[in-house]
Amino acid sequence: MTTETKRPVVLHLGDFTVECLGVEYPDYFGGYGLGPNSEYSNCAYGIGNTEAEALEDCLEMMAQSGSIDLDDEAEQRIREDYGRADDNVTAADELGVDEDDEECAFADFPAYWHVGIKWNIREDQRYERIRNIPRIQPLRYESYEAVCTDSDGYGRTWGYVRRADCGEEKVHVNPSGCGGTGYATGPNGEKVCYNCCALRDLADMRERGRAVLYLTVREGKHVVTNWPGTLTLPVKAYRKGRHNWAGSREDVWFTGPAGREWWGVCYGHNSQLCRCRRLRAA
């Protein structure tokens, strides 16, 4: 089954300026924004241990702002305008600080490279696209029957048993109890079983090159997964550091669909949301 998408309004990159803001400690960074007479309508900035990492983070913040469709063409324009971003000189190197010196405590209170961008947007219509998605039909009621025994061993709980065309049967207990329903609801109201959610997520990752997933720990190892937990992408490399407004950030690298390498970032101490993007082929 294929689904034809409508013609959504896509916000393309217009005029922009991208600049290196140097190295600064989070407590002393003055921020990055738009003045009252600015010629730009949007802005974002990123941080990193190197200038190249800060540029990557800046592009990610720009994409996650939701104000623009940051496609490959727009990203290439920004990178060409910025020029070469150094990936060798760290923030400590730039400040002349020894990261291993316990007296300066740089490891506990590090500084970061900062890169900022300001931009305008232009509206345009995207051509119609045909998206190949797994053959999944809406789930439907099959029967109303006893589905489980009460916790005390007596009596039965009745509910609807739903079956998808993929063969999965999921139970929706009535009256409602704790736990999930066994299915997700798509943008058009269709019901999709959890296993097929993983297939859809993989298809979307292949097409878009970006995804919002979840970072969690299973059996002592970090994995990237989807909301129902049916997608498992083992993390190959993991790094945790400080962030100047979220408090902390976790960077992960993993292998995604078609064997392509992906990078994800998770901000804050109490969030599992992992914003992921496919890396360019080496």
What is the per-residue pLDDT across 22-57, written as a single tens digit (0 to 9) for each? 999 888 888 888 887 888 888 999 999 999 999 999
150 in the same domain as 97: no
User: Does residue 199 lie in a domain region?
Assistant: no
Tell if the pTM clears 0.85, that is, is over it: no
Same structural domain, 83 and 174: no
- Three-state DSSP state, 184: strand
Q: Are residues 117 and 221 in the same domain?
A: no
Residues with Cβ within 8 Å of 51's Cβ and at least 6 positions away in sequence, in order, are 20, 85, 86, 87, 89, 113, 115
Which of 130, 151, 169 is the endpoint of a domain? 130
> 123 and 188: one domain?
no
Of residues 132, 113, 274, the one with CA closest to residue 203:
132
Residue 151: is its pLDDT beyond 60?
A: no
What 3-state class would DSSP assign to 127? coil
Task: Specify the number of domains making up the chain.
Answer: 3
Q: Where residue 213 falls among pLDDT bands split at 50, 70, 90?
A: very high
Residue 124: inside a domain, yes or no?
A: yes
**Considering the domain boundaries, does residue 135 fall inside one?**
no
Helix (H, G, I), strand (E, B) or coil at 82: helix
Residues 45 and 126 in one domain: yes
Residues 26 and 85 in one domain: yes
Banded model confidence at residue 123, pLDDT cuts 50, 70, 90: low
Find all residues with CB under 8 Å of 59, minimum gap 6, and list them.
46, 70, 75, 78, 117
Residue 154 is predicted with a pLDDT of 42
Identify the top-confidence range among 121-135, 154-168, 185-199.
185-199
Condensed to tens digits (0 to 9), the pLDDT of residues 53-85 reads: 999 999 988 887 767 778 888 899 999 999 999
Which of 130, 149, 166 corresponds to the end of one domain? Answer: 130
- Give yes or no: residues 98 and 80 share one domain: yes
Do both 147 and 230 map to the same domain? no
Does residue 31 lie within any of the structural domains? Answer: yes
Q: What's the pLDDT at 100?
A: 73
Do 11 and 75 sit in the same domain of this protein?
yes
In a domain? residue 248: yes
- 27 with 65, same domain: the answer is yes
Does residue 168 belong to any structural domain of this protein?
Answer: yes
Average pLDDT (106-135) is 65
What is the residue range of 155's domain?
A: 140-193
Q: Is residue 77 part of a domain?
A: yes
- Give the span between the Cα atoms of 46 and 246, in whole angstroms: 12
* Mean pLDDT, range 99-106, rounded to an integer: 69
Q: Is residue 173 pLDDT above 80, yes or no?
A: no
Q: Determine the angle formed by the axes of helices 51-64 and 72-82, rounding to 10 degrees.
A: 140
Same domain, 42 and 102: yes
- pLDDT tier, 134 (very low <50, low <70, confident <90, very high otherwise): very low
Confidence at 5, pLDDT banded by 50, 70, 90: very low
Q: Among residues 104, 130, 156, which one ends one of the domains?
A: 130
Q: Which residues contact 239 (CB under 8 A, 6 or more apart)?
A: 250, 251, 252
In a domain, 201, yes or no: no
pLDDT for res 69 = 78
**Burial level of 19, CB count in 10 A (0-12/13-18/19+)?**
middle
Are 58 and 142 contacting, i.e. CB atoms less than 8 angstroms apart?
Answer: no
- Whether 149 and 214 map to the same domain: the answer is no
Alpha-carbon distance 112 to 157, whole Å?
A: 57
Mean pLDDT computed over 240-246? 78
